[in-house]
Amino acid sequence: MLGFAGIAVLVGVFLIVNTFSMLIAQRTRELGLLRALGADRRQVRNSVLTEALLLGLVGSTLGLAVGIGLAAGLIGLMGLLGMNIDADEMEIGWVTPVAAYVVGLGVTFIAAYLPARRAAGVSPMAALSDAEVAGVGRPLRVRAVAGAVVGVAGAAALAGCAVSRQTSSAASLLGLGVVLTLIATVIAGPLLVRPVIRVLGGAFPALFGSIGRMSQRNALRNPRRTGATAAALMVGIALVGGMSVASESMTASFDRQIDKTLGADFVVQNSNFQPFPREVTEKVRGTEGVGLVVRGRFTPVAVRLPDGDRVETTAAGYDPRLDEVANITYAQGDSAAALASGHLAMDRDFARDHGVRVGSTLPVRFPAGRSAELTVGALTDQDSAEGFGTQGGLFFGMGTLERYAPGGQDSALYVNAASGIGDGALRANLEETLDPYPQVQVRDLADYKQLVQDQIAVLLYLVYALLGLAIIIAVLGVVNTLALSVVERTREIGLLRAIGLARRQLRRMIRLESVVIAVFGAVLGLVLGLVWGVCTQQVLALQGMTALAIPWLTIVLVVVGSAVVGVVAALLPALRASRMNVLAAIAHE
């Protein structure tokens, strides 16, 4: 949650810097008059910072109110998803408003500091000239050097993540690489404006004639402004892209793992994976058409390993005929050795990392203080160590589990049909048996895949909802920038209208400018997001999720959605521009 809050804050910083920079550009003459009348640099700077703090105060108050409303809404949503949370019990401590105002005022002050310094540097001679001409500014050489340095460092971190064999170090390098490449793209964004927008808007002149040509040039005329406007949208889309690649890869990996390991005709499980009463097991065994039932039961354990580590994890217990309902690949040993009394099996990589071999004796602590010395009978070579347990992939025979953790309930039943009965008939019989237990469900291979996908989707929907807030903020930023741009170009717009540009053509020009800026941000965001997603998949691969999947449909929808965002963001600014009085606009300074 803190990470997503940081994303929103980062987007807000981009918007504040961009807004104040544009305001300073528009008020150059005003600020120059203040200097001519005797105001010194410090006074001008302080006036801008004071204005920023007042805006921050208002924004923090509104943000606090909206945040409380969103919290209540999220609590209600989680309640609908089955989480036992009551919105009436929501507490708002003193830390919440304090943090809201500290962050809001602090971020606003920091974001406005550079524009305030720029305002303080305005010469009194600026009072005698027109406002700053859009597109005129310092060369971008410093940005090029800084962006290249930070970008190389970020690329090196992501490359290190891709080749690392340790999950912890890979995850750390991933986080560092994401931050650095994001910063590098923001810094170098204005440098990318001209080459990328020339491509993205290249068809505008052919499709829309002179209106298309002007809209493309308007987006090109001030690379700093265009880059800053697109940056806010880029951050949200980059994270959506990265999460989409990661989630698609997770789903593909789980599907592959299920196809490889699950050999039972049906799996009987509680809908929330919790254990069910023993009578369910007995009734399933007595169901007509059932040929084999292998029980699966889970228990928390703590294992002392030869390298001195003490690992707390969840281990599984299974009945002896496990090979008939599951396809397990062993590096050493077999199911008979793994399920023998006083034995256990674990993942080969986990064993190697902790100095465990077949024949090693490990102290294992079960619930209620029971302890045992178990012998490693087999090492598995599954794609994922989580196929039949959690960390380490530990499992043993049901006899061993019942000896040291008696009285447990089954969590899964792996069921094969008896000879001569079809899957459809057996499923109907099982569903009839389980009708008194609505939480316990029968699933085949396809159902089991869908269950895993649904579990991933619940998390992703919450993530996408939070990221959607950041994108909404970015859209507001595009609206704000276009509105300020229209004000800045009042005289220019008046001249265009005076020489014959129709209201409809003016609105189209502003819409096309908005679209190309939004798509520019989307393209940068998707490139970043795909790189981040691929690197995230490399971290997941260390945990056995080795499939890489690119959500091409999502990518296409994001690009199309960005164009729609551009159109929507331009509606009000375009309407305002088209309603300007031509003579008043020409006389505007």
- 381 is a domain residue: yes
Rounded distance, CA 77 to CA 453, Å?
Answer: 19
Secondary structure (3-state) at 301: strand
- 279 is a domain residue: yes
Same domain, 273 and 333: yes
Same domain, 385 and 476: no
Structure confidence at residue 578 as a pLDDT band (50, 70, 90): confident
Mean pLDDT of 226-245: 84
Domains identified in the chain, total number: 3
- 189 is a domain residue: yes
Classify each residue of 165-183 as buried b or exposed e, where b means 16 or more C-beta atoms within 10 Å of its C-beta.
Answer: eeeeebebbbebbbebbbb
pLDDT, residue 58, reads 87
Pick 17 or 199 by higher pLDDT: 199
Whether pLDDT at 253 is above 60: yes
- Please write the tens of the pLDDT for every residue from 152-201: 999 999 999 988 888 888 989 998 999 899 889 988 888 999 999 999 99
Rounded distance, CA 211 to CA 512, Å?
Answer: 9
Whether pLDDT at 16 is above 90: no
- Per the document, the length of the chain is 589
pLDDT, residue 131, reads 47
- Please write the tens of the pLDDT for every residue from 262-299: 888 999 998 777 899 899 999 999 999 999 999 999 99
Rounded distance, CA 519 to CA 226, Å?
Answer: 11
Pick 81 or 513 by higher pLDDT: 513
Q: Which residue has the tokens 């049901």?
A: 398
Find all residues with CB under 8 Å of 555, minimum gap 6, and list them. 241, 244, 526, 530
- Please write the tens of the pLDDT for every residue from 120-149: 776 776 555 554 444 445 567 888 898 899
Task: Provide the domain limits for residue 295.
Answer: 266-443
- Please write the tens of the pLDDT for every residue from 518-553: 999 999 999 999 999 999 999 888 877 888 889 898
Same domain, 414 and 500: no
Find all residues with CB under 8 Å of 103, minimum gap 6, and list them. 9, 60
Q: C-alpha angle with apex 518: 500 to 585, nearest 5 degrees? A: 30
Tokens of 398: 């049901």
Same domain, 47 and 124: yes
Same domain, 434 and 467: no
pLDDT, residue 3, reads 52
Residue of 56, 67, 54, 70 lying closest to 101 (CA atoms): 56
Same domain, 206 and 326: no
- Please write the tens of the pLDDT for every residue from 440-466: 999 888 887 887 777 777 767 766 776
> Highest-confidence range of 7-16, 484-493, 556-565, by mean pLDDT?
556-565
pLDDT, residue 133, reads 44
- Please write the tens of the pLDDT for every residue from 466-482: 667 767 777 777 787 78
Same domain, 253 and 297: no
- Please write the tens of the pLDDT for every residue from 390-419: 688 899 999 999 999 988 899 999 999 998
Mean pLDDT of 425-431: 93
The last residue of one of the domains, among 389, 419, 443, is 443
Q: What percent of the chain has pLDDT over 70?
A: 86
The last residue of one of the domains, among 133, 151, 172, is 133
Structure confidence at residue 338 as a pLDDT band (50, 70, 90): very high
pTM of this structure: 0.76
- 567 is a domain residue: yes
Same domain, 10 and 68: yes
pLDDT, residue 448, reads 79
Same domain, 159 and 246: yes
Find all residues with CB under 8 Å of 230, minimum gap 6, and list them. 189, 517, 518, 520, 521, 524
- 230 is a domain residue: yes
- 75 is a domain residue: yes
pLDDT, residue 388, reads 42
Residue of 418, 428, 341, 330 lying closest to 379 (CA atoms): 330
pLDDT, residue 81, reads 58
- 170 is a domain residue: yes
The last residue of one of the domains, among 84, 102, 133, is 133
- 585 is a domain residue: no
Q: What percent of the chain has pLDDT over 90?
A: 34
Same domain, 565 and 463: yes
pLDDT, residue 344, reads 94
Residue of 475, 467, 477 lying closest to 15 (CA atoms): 477
Strands 330-332 and 361-365: unpaired
Same domain, 437 and 475: no
Q: What is the mean pLDDT of the chain?
A: 83
Same domain, 333 and 431: yes
